Structure 1
């Protein structure tokens, strides 16, 4: 969970000023807030999350205790591949998350036969990743989505038009899944080199090698 802090600071002489931070992790915000409070000069302080919800210090402390026990700081990498000769697709996704003070990496792939193009496989790979996020019980938080498919990410950002009905339906499925889980996506495109792990999972799926694992990192 990320928030930005708004503080009204009052000097001993009575001068006041309002300070606002950038978006930072909730745990870091609490540390900064405690440091501010030690000055004895804070007139008021509030925290605003990415959903524009306003939190008071006490409520944020209570929430963060619960938040740490659930999967959070979610990042999903995805990649899909399509083999024209066999008309099969390989899907790969990697989900990084934190829980109870530990970091984890979840890997999952799948081989499917009902898709018709590489772009459709890319969408399906992202949907696979979101299904894994849902299985973790993740909801009501920001989520970072990273892939090397410019088509998928630019279409989901509404920066590129989607003329193909098949891809449009996949985009709708992605949006519906995000909305049902109340997840706020942050999209990023990277080079294939920086997406090697999910690319490898997609290739393994095409070869019939099934992967499903979660390890502490």
Structure 2
């Protein structure tokens, strides 16, 4: 079994593509090694750590960051083009708020104490980039998690507390201390780091190398 840590932020569009590319890479590895097994763990990264807890208008922030509407639209089109190959239809026009993702990362941390959270993060990416839902809002996050089969009463008690906030923040700091400044990044067995939403062939080759090294 290979342990795959995926460093990501829910508001990073390339992280959604990175998830799909990882899935493609895993299928490629299994064609060579049918018995291949893996375990994923999603690790927190704060792309915009200065985002207010309530969020802030999405498009004005991007226009200021990238120098106007035209560069932002060009960026959107590059992401859309990359996403189409993996059946991702981005709807950036639906996004109203730039979300603070601490609560979403806490939710992922909580879910991963109970098992695999791949389905949950898929739903979070869909919420952010296809439905325009506010993934920094606790009520929205509870609804998303309930849709994925998690119990509402436990979620409410957890998300309306500060439990694990420090744990998640400290993990994000450890990630940056490793030198990771770009997401998505993939860490194989705690050692090999692949930075960026790489082509599935690159990820598959890295996983096969990890298997061969054993």
TM tier, shorter chain? under 0.3
Which structure has the bigger radius of gyration? 1
Q: Which has the higher contact order (CA 8 A, sep 6+)?
A: 2
Please, what TM-score do these two structures have when normalized by structure 2?
0.24
Q: 1 or 2, which has the higher helix percentage? A: 2
Please, what TM-score do these two structures have when normalized by structure 1?
0.24
